[in-house]
Amino acid sequence: MEWTVHSGGYVPFEHIHVNQDEIFHIQRGEMRVKLQGTTQFGRAGETLTVRRGTPHIAFNDKDQPLVCIVDYKPGLDHYKTMQCFAGLTIDCDYDRRGLINVSKIMYMLKRAHAQSLTRPAFAPAWLFQLGMGVFFATGSALGWESLYQKYTGQS
């Protein structure tokens, strides 16, 4: 997946990929990554790998766009997860900070039985799982299944 981060941009929160390594192949620009409290830099032509389970956040501190090809290994069901994130984004279903609707994405992750899970680093695994269960029940009652079908094409 191609990922572009404009000058001053960053991932909105420190997070953990539960079951996948995240691999950044930097095409242009420079990326600063905070990994468990340490800072690493990657420049054009370099590759940075974040191992599964490692809290991290990425930044573009430079004046030029950062362009990366990002791989997730193993791939698992990452495409389906991204369909849900993109659908909510395209529908402008996000808060004033630009974060997508957390309750709806949690519903969709649970509905999809997603293996490609990204959770905020501040949330312990048990709380994340509990949240998915609560939002799945909420979304089921509120009819969010139609959004899941719209974004994934699955019934």
Report pLDDT for 41: 97
Record the tokens describing residue 8, joined without a space. Answer: 């001053």
Q: Which helix (H) or strand (E) holds 34?
A: strand 30-35
- Per-residue pLDDT band for 12 (boundaries 50, 70, 90) equals confident
pLDDT over 90, % of the chain: 89
CA-closest candidate to residue 60, choices 29, 27, 22, 39: 29
Q: Which residue has the higher pLDDT, 99 or 111?
A: 111
Report pLDDT for 35: 92
Q: Look at domain 2-73 and name its CATH class.
A: mainly beta
Taking every pair of Cα atoms in the chain, the longest distance, rounded to a whole number of angstroms, is 48
Single-letter residue type at 51: R
> CATH 2.60.120.10 in the chain, residues?
2-73
30-76: pLDDT as tens digits: 999 999 889 999 999 999 999 999 999 999 999 999 999 999 999 99
